[in-house]
Amino acid sequence: MNSRDMVIMVIAGVAAIPIWMAMDRTPPYIRESGMVSLAMSDTLCGSMSLQSTDAATTAEIFPGSCVTVDWKIKTLRNCPPDVTDNIHPRITDATGVRFTLAPTRGKFGTPVQDILDPNIYRFFRLPVAMSSGIAIYESDVTYACNPLHYIWPVHVIEPKISFTVQPKPADPT
């Protein structure tokens, strides 16, 4: 093998790394299902847990309520969240009005967590201005599983979760 062939092999090897990084689009986990329910306490709003907190109830949900999203996940690999607030939640109410909630920084499970509790719990307050009826929660979560993903992150988007928002009770005054 001559030096020209060696140079070509080295260049091809070095070029393969960014190509592999660009093709690496597997997310760190799959969200298999989810449920939105009323949180047991307003103090949980804005927090997240990787462990069951028994923090949800089956009580009715009203505009302005603190709710929990309980995601059942299946971890595929260990990837850190990207360097920004990586969870971008949105709610669409029954009239089609879309509310963008404040982005937050998330954590995620590991394969060991799947054995212990394959769920992630997030708590947030519903917009007071949302209409009653069937609402849809969705979020876009970004991860950096290799250095190129800090520029072009991997997204986890589906599934959307439907839940019912009851009309706000009339003020007794």
Q: What is the model's pLDDT at position 49?
A: 60
For the stretch 31-57, pLDDT in tens is 888 889 888 777 777 766 655 555 555
Query: Which residue shows structure tokens 């954590």?
Result: 107
pLDDT at position 114, please? 52
Q: What is the pTM of this model?
A: 0.77
pLDDT tens readout for residues 17-36: 888 888 888 888 888 888 89
What is d(CA 21, CA 44) in angstroms, rounded to the nearest whole number? 38
Terminal-residue alpha carbon distance, the chain: 91
Low-confidence ranges of the chain (pLDDT < 70): 47-58, 81-83, 107-118, 171-173
| Domain residue extents for the chain | 27-165
Is residue 34 within 8 Å of residue 74, measured between CB atoms?
no
Q: Are strands 119-125 and 154-156 parallel, antiparallel or unpaired?
A: unpaired
Q: What is the pLDDT of residue 52?
A: 55
Coil vs helix vs strand at 103: coil
Which pLDDT does position 47 carry in this prediction?
67
Return the pLDDT at 92: 96
Q: How far apart are CA 76 and CA 30, in angstroms?
A: 7
Task: Write out the two tokens for 1.
Answer: 């093998």
Quick check: 127 and 121 in contact, CB under 8 A? Answer: no
Contact between 26 and 143 (Cβ < 8 Å): no
The answer regarding whether domain 27-165 maps to CATH 1.25.40 reads no
